Structure 1
Amino acid sequence: MIVNARVLRPEFVPRDVVHRDAEVSHLSSALRPITDGNPAETALLCGPSGAGKTCTARFTVQRLRETALKVNSQYINCWEDYSRFKLLYRLLEGLDRAFDVHRQSTPKDELLERLRADEGPPYVVILDEVDQLEDTSVLYDLYRTPGLTMVLVANGEEELFSRLDDRLVSRLQTATRVHFEKYTLDELVSILEDRVRWGLREGVIATEQLATIADAAAGDARVAIGVLRTAGRRADQEDMESISYEIIREAVPEAKSEIKQKNTEKLTPDQQTLYEIIAEHGDVASGELYERYSDRVNKPKTKRMVRNYLQKLRHYNLIIAEGDNRGRTYHPVS
């Protein structure tokens, strides 16, 4: 039934990004000066999870590289590479200049010096989940690095800017903003139809069934594609000729659980601690949560940073917040 599993993966970048023409055009315009040998503006892509931000960024940069003769690029997920050292290391990897870097002994400043010493083609860097960076001052260093253009991807602009110092905020005020909204049901069906055409055997699922999947995904393309992948896998395992509604109903919670597990595994140590406390207690007041968190970690982050972490957990549907300010409580998503 599944003829190309790769196109059913969330990281797959299609040949064409549907229902994001305006966003692709906007980002392309921001990067176009590079093709004329001029510096481009920093771009900031914001919107909810599963709205196509990462796919749009990777597709647009890939297309830029096809039209411009000499452009380097690198994609970095800051949820995985959230420290200053890891980020700079990945950037040097993209230039093949990290071969003799030693994680224990090479100073961070030397990594930045190497990056700035590069005299190669323009370097376009996609920083996905940029609000996950532990040390956001590295963004200021990258902003001042000649030949390097940043494409920043985050859920919310306000949450990101609240963590930046004034000098960086003032510079990013001129960044090109590309805002994303959740997909409509019809748009998700269209996205799924493409994945079916590329990844599944012809005739195994009907458009009405794709609409059922899209409805369950509630505007999140990552969830929709995950449900389709899970349903196809289940049908394969049961040697079915087509995907039934029953298979889809079973696939929805399984796919959501799989995505939730992956999101949980990506949490930073501090975020993981916060999530574990909320999961253990089921319903925790804001003040109590911070106290329990401070007791469990050696170097607790500030309350402001913890609020940002909790907002991130909410964006990825791991926790729910109720109430305001001091009366706010948190509980896990079941």
Structure 2
Amino acid sequence: MIRDARVLQDDFLPQEVQHREAEVTQLSTTLAALTRDEIPETAFLSGPSGVGKTCIAKFTVDRLREELIDVNHQYINCWEDYNRYRTLYRILEGIGQTLDVHRQSTPLDELLERVRSYDGPPYVVILDEVDQLEDTSVLYDLYNTPRIHMVLIANEEDDLFAELEERVRSRLLSSVRIRFERYHLEELVTILEDRAQWGLSEGAIGKQQLALIADAAAGDARVAIGILRNAARRAQQENADTITFEMVHESVPRGKAEVKRKAVDKLHPHQHALYEILRDEGELSPGDLYERYTEKVENPKTKRTVRNYLTKMDHYGLVIAEGTNRGRTYRPQ
């Protein structure tokens, strides 16, 4: 049943991408300045979860590497590397300059100086979930490093720009905006057909079953691939030759739960504390939630930062925000 399990992972990078030709062209055109020894504009990719932003960024940078012999690159997930130190460390890691860095004792200023003094080949840094950075001044650091070029990824432009210092915002206003919308059902079916062709035995799943998966995923490729993965796993466990409608129906909640669990696992300690409070207590007003949060953690973040955390968790389907201003409440998804 499963010929190549890698293909059924949502972070698998295909050799060709479907239904994102315009976005690939726009990002490729932006980065093509490097092939002419020019400085490209910063690129900013936005859109809901599961619409291909990360895939397209990685895919396009890979294509750039086919044209340029000398180009460095690094992918950083700011949900995991969310402070300035960790981001700078990962950037230096991408060019092999962390062998003598000790995370507990090497000063931040030393990391920053190493980044600023970089004078090697063009260095493309993909900053995914960039709105999760606790200190956006690192974007200023990178913007002012001539040989480092940024590709930024976030769900919503407003979530990022509202938190930027003026000196950073003014520099990023000229960035190339590339907006991603949710996939249509037919587009998701095509994407799933490719995954099935590459990763499953021939004839393992029919187009009607794929359409059922795509419909359940509601435009989110990450969820769709998760459902397909669970259905294929179920079929393989039963030594079945094909994936049936029943298997798909049973895999829908499992696939969605798996995607949600991965999102929860990515939460950093303060976000996780907020999630646990809502999971344990249910619906809460912002004031009540913040009060319980300050009781639960050491060195709590500001109300504004907590609000940003909750917005991000809403994007990933972990919490539901309802109402506005004083009438707003949060509850677990």
Normalization by structure 2: what TM-score?
0.98
What's 1:193 paired with?
193
What's 2:64 paired with?
64
What's the CA shift for 1:91? 0.6
Checking the alignment, whether the CA contact within 8 Å between 2:42 and 2:149 is kept in structure 1 is yes
SS of structure 1 residue aligned to 2:73: strand
Unaligned runs of 5+ in 2: none
What's 2:76 paired with?
76
Q: Letter of the aligned partner of 2:145 in structure 1?
A: T
What's 1:47 paired with?
47
What's the CA shift for 1:44? 0.4
Q: Structure 1 stretches (4+) deviating beyond 3 angstroms?
A: none
- Alpha-carbon distance in structure 2 between the residues aligned to 1:117 and 1:159: 31
Q: Letter of the aligned partner of 1:133 in structure 2?
A: L
Q: Over aligned residues, Cα RMSD in angstroms?
A: 0.8
- 1:230 is aligned to 2:242: no
- Alpha-carbon distance in structure 2 between the residues aligned to 1:86 and 1:231: 37
- Alpha-carbon distance in structure 1 between the residues aligned to 2:321 and 2:148: 38
- 1:14 is aligned to 2:10: no
SS of structure 2 residue aligned to 1:17: coil
What's 1:306 paired with?
306
What's 2:207 paired with?
207
What's the CA shift for 1:119? 2.1
User: Residue deviations 1:96-134, cap 9 Å, x none?
Assistant: 111110011111111121122222100000001111111
Residues 1-334 of structure 1 mapped to structure 2, 5 A cutoff: 1-333=1-333
- Alpha-carbon distance in structure 2 between the residues aligned to 1:270 and 1:308: 12
Unaligned runs of 5+ in 1: none
Checking the alignment, whether the CA contact within 8 Å between 2:313 and 2:319 is kept in structure 1 is yes
- Alpha-carbon distance in structure 2 between the residues aligned to 1:39 and 1:321: 41
What's the CA shift for 1:324? 1.0
- Alpha-carbon distance in structure 2 between the residues aligned to 1:146 and 1:62: 21
- Alpha-carbon distance in structure 1 between the residues aligned to 2:105 and 2:300: 26
Question: How many residues are matched?
Answer: 333
Q: Letter of the aligned partner of 1:161 in structure 2?
A: F
- Alpha-carbon distance in structure 1 between the residues aligned to 2:134 and 2:214: 35
What's the CA shift for 1:177? 0.3
SS of structure 2 residue aligned to 1:75: strand
- Alpha-carbon distance in structure 1 between the residues aligned to 2:115 and 2:292: 41
Q: Which moved more, 1:172-181 or 1:110-119?
A: 110-119
User: Residue deviations 1:146-181, cap 9 Å, x none?
Assistant: 200000000010011111101111111000000000
Normalization by structure 1: what TM-score?
0.98
What's the CA shift for 1:285? 1.2
- Alpha-carbon distance in structure 2 between the residues aligned to 1:322 and 1:74: 37
- Alpha-carbon distance in structure 1 between the residues aligned to 2:50 and 2:307: 22
Checking the alignment, whether the CA contact within 8 Å between 2:231 and 2:251 is kept in structure 1 is yes
Checking the alignment, whether the CA contact within 8 Å between 2:118 and 2:145 is kept in structure 1 is no
- Alpha-carbon distance in structure 2 between the residues aligned to 1:89 and 1:39: 24
Checking the alignment, whether the CA contact within 8 Å between 2:116 and 2:141 is kept in structure 1 is no
Q: Which moved more, 1:73-82 or 1:47-56?
A: 73-82
Q: Percent identity over the alignment? A: 61
- Alpha-carbon distance in structure 2 between the residues aligned to 1:56 and 1:25: 10
Q: Which moved more, 1:213-222 or 1:128-137?
A: 128-137
- Alpha-carbon distance in structure 2 between the residues aligned to 1:178 and 1:44: 6
Q: Letter of the aligned partner of 2:209 in structure 1?
A: Q
What's the CA shift for 1:17? 1.1
